[in-house]
Amino acid sequence: MTALVTGATSGIGRAIAKQLADEGAEVIVHGRDARRGSDVVAEIEKAGGAARFIQADMTDEADVLRLADEAGDVDILINNAGIFQFYGTSEMTTERFDLHMDVNTKAPFLLTRALAPGMAERGRGSIVNISTLAAAVTTKGTGMYAASKAALEQLTRVWSAEYGTQGVRVNAVAPGPVRTPGTDDMDAATLKAIGETTVLGRIAEPEEIAEAVVFLASDRASYITGIVLEAAGGRLSIG
């Protein structure tokens, strides 16, 4: 079983790559940062697993297509690489708009278009897209991030319908706030305040999100497709 995990050099993707390797998958660790990539590969190998690193920039279509080509036949595709920058609409430049759409929406589309037909031909495959709770909850300043992931959620449902009868399941996981290098630059008070918007009253560790992703990717979820699973600590009701 081979799994391609995009954005596996950091945070949630790294945790997913390690858990998939623990479950016996040969993992293709993707990212831009070769040093962090080889660190993750070394961690997986040290734990007795198998992994290799492929570098590609998700803003560059030719690079994403090369990644798909070099990955070859994969059984599991985890579209995790993502960026999240928070600006009000008046401050959202065209470049930032394009960046969110390219990394969060277009790259998963390019990889799915390249790899899902092979899965369908072999009669089995599983794709998990990493979304965000922000795609469903209205929060000022999340515009392009939320929109790029909301598009990914609808693509998840469409892809599940297109490939389902050929043995390919497509699902998404929508995490709430997670402690990762990507959220490191937020101060502790902000992170705590965000955690307090959840029923569980705290932010998540990457491994907790990875559990949900690996479940959906595995045969244990054999009758689940086209869903967006919220791994977000519960939404608080008003009052």
CB of 229 to ligand NAP, least distance (A): 12
- Please list every residue from 80 through 109 that binds ligand NAP, using CB under 6 A: 80-84, 103
Shortest gap between Cβ of 239 and ligand NAP (angstroms)? 26
SS3 87: coil
H or E segment and range at residue 175: strand 168-175
Do 87 and 134 form a contact (C-beta atoms < 8 A)? no
Task: Specify the DSSP class assigned to residue 204.
Answer: B
Choice between 32 and 96, CB closer to ligand NAP: 32
Q: Which is nearer to ligand NAP, 115 or 130 (CB)?
A: 130
Q: Does 125 engage in binding with ligand NAP (CB under 6 A)?
A: no
Q: Is 38 in the site for ligand NAP (CB under 6 A)?
A: no
Burial environment of residue 28 by CB neighbours within 10 A (0 to 12, 13 to 18, 19 or more): buried
Q: CB under 6 A: which stretch of 70-78, 89-97, 136-144, 174-182 binds ligand NAP?
A: 174-182
Angle at 55 between CA 49 and CA 59, to 5 degrees: 135
SS3 state of residue 172: strand
- 181 near ligand NAP, rule: CB under 6 A: yes
Helices 143-163 and 107-122, axial angle in degrees (round to 10): 10
Q: Is 59 in the site for ligand NAP (CB under 6 A)?
A: yes
Q: Report the residue from 9, 19, 160, 225 that binds ligand NAP according to the rule CB under 6 A.
A: 9
Q: Show the tokens assigned to 204.
A: 């998540």
Active site (annotated) includes residue 223: no
The Cα–Cα gap between 8 and 39 comes to 11
Minimum gap (Å) between residue 39 Cβ and ligand NAP: 11
Catalytic residues: 145
Chain contacts with ligand NAP (rule: CB under 6 A): 7, 9-13, 31-33, 36, 57-59, 80-84, 103, 130, 132, 175, 177-178, 180-183
